[in-house]
Amino acid sequence: MRLLLVDDHPLMRVGVSHLVREEWPDIAIDEADTIAAALARIAAHKPDLVVLDLSLPDASGLEGASRVLRALPGVPLLVLSLNAEAAYAARLMQMGAAGYLPKDRAADELRTALRRLHQGGRYVTASMADHLLGLLSGKAPESLPHEQLSAQEYRVMLLMASGATPAQIAETMHLSVKTVGSYRARIFEKAGWKNNTELTKYCVQHGLTTL
């Protein structure tokens, strides 16, 4: 079995590798510290599992996960991140990720999560399960504005909050500038924001910016 570990912190890679080898002593582990390096590793050796950090030098938030998922359809992806679970887990699962685990839970739950994914299942922490099911079913009580957005609208919102221009968002998401403008209009209509400043302030306040 082969695992691809994508994280730009060497100590984190060492720790994750140690935990993984406690579960599978003979596993082959490829490492990458950027999305570009990860895609090169994927081209050379297709992994059976992927562990991905959300914050990388050349991709942040959902974009790195989106690029890996496009390159590896059907391969289980576990996102391991410092970001607040509620902010990202539902969107990542909707995009096709198989699991989400906060880094501060990795020591206790990483092996269980990877075992579940390798067996064809999905994984989130127990504390997140009810909230995630509510979001995915559209029945979450007192949903926040960002929870009402579609997956594509959510990605556009995060890119806008990062300061990306419509042209940059269009290039990143492989859309036309006109389509980005349509998403932007729907985001503001659903959330009630009047401008990019209000959007960015909201994202910062709710932990939606990538750490």
Give me 155's structure tokens: 């990605």
171: domain CATH number is 1.10.10.10
Q: Which residue has the higher pLDDT, 82 or 146?
A: 146
- For tokens 């081209």, name the residue: 43
Tell me, yes or no, whether 95 and 121 share the same domain: yes
Let me know if residue 12 belongs to a domain.
Answer: yes
Q: Which of 101, 116, 137 is the last residue of a domain?
A: 137
Tell me, yes or no, whether 80 and 165 share the same domain: no
Tell me, yes or no, whether 56 and 120 share the same domain: yes
Q: Which of 78, 104, 137 is the last residue of a domain?
A: 137
Q: Find the DSSP H helices in the chain.
A: 10-23, 35-44, 62-71, 85-95, 106-118, 126-137, 151-161, 166-173, 177-191, 196-205
By C-alpha distance, which of 63, 11, 64 is closest to 35?
64
Specify the pTM.
0.71
The number of distinct structural domains making up the chain is 2
Tell me, yes or no, whether 96 and 178 share the same domain: no
Let me know if residue 211 belongs to a domain.
Answer: no
Q: Give 58-97 pLDDT, tens digit per residue.
A: 887 688 898 999 999 999 999 988 765 566 787 788 889 9
Tell me, yes or no, whether 13 and 38 share the same domain: yes
Tell me, yes or no, whether 118 and 151 share the same domain: no
24: domain CATH number is 3.40.50.2300
Q: d(Cα 47, Cα 115) in Å, to the nearest integer?
A: 15
Q: d(Cα 130, Cα 179) in Å, to the nearest integer?
A: 34
Let me know if residue 109 belongs to a domain.
Answer: yes
Q: Which of 78, 113, 137 is the last residue of a domain?
A: 137
Question: What is the extent of the structural domain holding 117?
Answer: 2-137
Tell me, yes or no, whether 49 and 129 share the same domain: yes
Angle, vertex CA 84, rays to CA 82 and CA 88, nearest 5: 100
Tell me, yes or no, whether 132 and 172 share the same domain: no
Q: Give 16-45 pLDDT, tens digit per residue.
A: 999 999 999 999 999 999 999 999 999 999
Give me 193's structure tokens: 């924001």
Residue 140 has pLDDT above 60, yes or no: no
Residue 211 has pLDDT above 50, yes or no: no
Tell me, yes or no, whether 23 and 116 share the same domain: yes
Q: d(Cα 185, Cα 192) in Å, to the nearest integer?
A: 10
Let me know if residue 152 belongs to a domain.
Answer: yes
Q: d(Cα 21, Cα 18) in Å, to the nearest integer?
A: 5
Let me know if residue 155 belongs to a domain.
Answer: yes
